[in-house]
Amino acid sequence: MSPGTPRSPSESWHRIDAWLAAHAPSDAALLNPPAAEDDIRQAERVLGIQLPADLAESLRCHNGASAWTTILPEQSPLTVSGIVDQWQTCMTIAAEEDGLTTRPWDAPALPSR
């Protein structure tokens, strides 16, 4: 593979797993086994979309983490159920806030008379 060529999620996880095993075995132990294909399909039904291929492939390597870990920047990897829960929370908040229909960028810059 030439430098700069994107790796597949499976290839990336293989490298991450190897590094964690050598340098941070306690973090490696927090990664869950692969997600069940049925769980991925059920999440897609609940979400009403097909998960992006890279996300589904990543979940087939590790179904998130069993506890908070800082192996990835910003957030610990979510499980399939965590992804669904997060989406449902966002949809609940959106419903409480009158949906996501008000978008500031749609309003005219200056009021018209």
In a domain, 58, yes or no: yes
In a domain, 111, yes or no: no
In a domain, 11, yes or no: no
Report the distance separating Cα 2 and Cα 25, nearest Å: 29
pLDDT at site 17: 96
User: Which whole number is the average pLDDT over 38-57?
Assistant: 96
Q: What is the per-residue pLDDT across 54-110, written as a single tens digit (0 to 9) for each? A: 999 999 999 999 998 888 888 889 999 999 999 998 888 877 776 665 555 455 554
**Is 0.75 topped by the overall pTM?**
yes
Number of domains in the chain: 1
In a domain, 63, yes or no: yes
- b/e map 56-78, b = 16+ CB within 10 Å: bbbbbbbbbbeeebeeeeeebbb
Asked whether residue 1 carries a pLDDT value surpassing 80, the answer given is no
In a domain, 43, yes or no: yes
Asked whether residue 113 carries a pLDDT value surpassing 50, the answer given is no
Domain of residue 62 covers: 32-99
